[in-house]
Amino acid sequence: MRVLALAAASPMHDPVRVSTYVNAFRSSLLGVPFIGLITEPTRVEAEILVVLVATGGTEHIVLDTARLSGARYVLLAYHDSDNSLPAALEVAPALRELCGVGLVHLNSAGSRVGPLVRASEALSKIRGGLVLVVGKPSPWLVYSSGVEGEVESKLGVELRFLELDALYEELQRVGDAEAAEECSELVSRASRVSVGGEELLRACRLSVAMRRLAARLGAIAVSVRCFDLLKDLGVSGCLALSRLLDRGVVAGCEADIPSTATMLILSTLSGRPSWVANVVGVGSSSVELAHCTVATSLTSSYSLVTHFESGLPVSVAGTLEEGVEVTLAKYDPRRNLLRASRGTVRSGRPTHPYRCRTQVVVEVPPGFARSLLEDPLGAHLVVGLGNLLEELEYLAALASLRVELFR
């Protein structure tokens, strides 16, 4: 998505003062191309416009420019003089009927431009990408399935469904040497390995097969009906998904399409792996999460252990660093809703014997904690590194999603 900046002014106002506002605006743009000052509606080639409302009397100029340009989002910058704010307040609701819109004071414009650009770049990377769904969504995903059309429409991805046999055929082509190399690298970094060598080799062979399948088809994300692997292969898909995440391919569990889409959003924004987990406990201002597929690169240490429910190999029991700022999010295609919250890791060490192997407690705003029980969006929640709330707010607007943010 192309982002351009411009300023709009009425010819009735003092050009010297206007130039002062424009110069301050240009210095806040962080590299966004500035096409100049306009005094009449102008068509520009951009889906996102950052507009300085330099003076009053510019409402029709800004509105018609957005309409002519087919803008998807307009960020209005205003200041304290020359009726800038009244003009911005008048045009904003009119723009809202056409596209997304936001307002920011000129003095703070730089802090908003960066997240807007990052959101637009992330959505551009996501659009047109291939998401592989290997096997049908797991049968217990009674709410989080049947939403393929909504995900494709809003995010612009292609969902391609494969039978598990496609993965099994790839698995047959993986040699022992490749699997052994994968094992060696993993074991060298692990703090503990409590599975046997042959079991680990089988899990690593699956890891290589899954990576090859994703690479051969050019997928940016994969989601697998992983519990069938336990029955068919006697090995879990946890390690394979963890390793895909380590290598920059989004990898979701249980063929859960909404959660995988959420992972794709957070990973693309942060440039780091995200983690999908079960919500296993909710306090007044905390949420407890657990799952077996965390990327090893997200952990300060990890152990290679058995899968929780089945006792089969291999899962990752990772430790996440305490005090790290994170974003918790879930995209609900049924409600066209993206819900997200800031959070801080308070405990990142596995402590509970009857939960999935990687376990984290995250401190969150009380309102978000309540929402998990009073208005749930499904069993899974996605963790991304850093505070991504501003970027998510813009991305939701660009993708025409409703958004709920808990700061």
- Which residues is 50 bridged to in the sheet? 5, 75
Tokens of 77: 């910058």
Q: Are 84 and 159 members of one domain?
A: no
Q: Which two tokens stand for residue 299?
A: 């952990």
One domain, residues 383 and 328: yes
pLDDT of 1 strictly over 90: no
Q: How many domains does the chain have?
A: 2
What is the per-residue pLDDT across 270-285, written as a single tens digit (0 to 9) for each?
999 999 999 999 999 9
Indicate if the pLDDT at residue 309 is higher than 90. no
Q: Kindly tell me if the per-residue pLDDT of 313 is higher than 90.
A: no
Q: Which of 85, 104, 125 is the last residue of a domain?
A: 125
Segments forming the whole domain that contains residue 288: 127-406
Domain check: are 347 and 363 in the same one?
A: yes
* 234-267: pLDDT as tens digits: 999 999 999 999 999 999 999 999 999 999 999 9
- On the question of pLDDT at 168 being above 90, the answer is yes
Widest distance between CA atoms in the chain: 80
Q: Which residues of 298-313 are buried (b: 16+ CB within 10 A; e: fewer)?
A: bbebbbbbbbbeeebb
Percent of the chain with pLDDT over 70: 100
For 331-341, write each residue's pLDDT tens digit: 999 999 999 99
Residue 196 pLDDT exceeds 90: no
What pTM was estimated for this model as a whole?
0.95
The 10s digit of each residue's pLDDT in 222-239 is: 999 999 999 999 999 999
- Regarding whether 134 and 121 lie in a shared domain, the answer is no
Query: What is the gyration radius of the CA atoms in the chain, in angstroms?
Result: 24
Domain boundary among 87, 104, 125: 125
Same-domain status, 151 and 67: no
pLDDT at residue number 214: 98
- Residues 121-139 have a mean pLDDT of 97
In a shared domain, residues 157 and 237: yes
pLDDT per residue over 381-405, tens digit each? Answer: 999 999 999 999 999 999 999 999 9
pLDDT of 58 above 90: yes
Residues 138 and 118 in one domain: no
pLDDT at position 310 over 90: no
Region of 336 on the Ramachandran plot (φ > 0 left; ψ -120 to 50 alpha; else beta): left
Same domain assignment for residues 188 and 80 = no
Average pLDDT over residues 109-136: 96
If asked whether residues 263 and 394 sit together in one domain, one would say: yes
Q: What CATH number has the domain bearing residue 373?
A: 3.20.14
Output the domain CATH number for residue 42: 3.40.50.10940
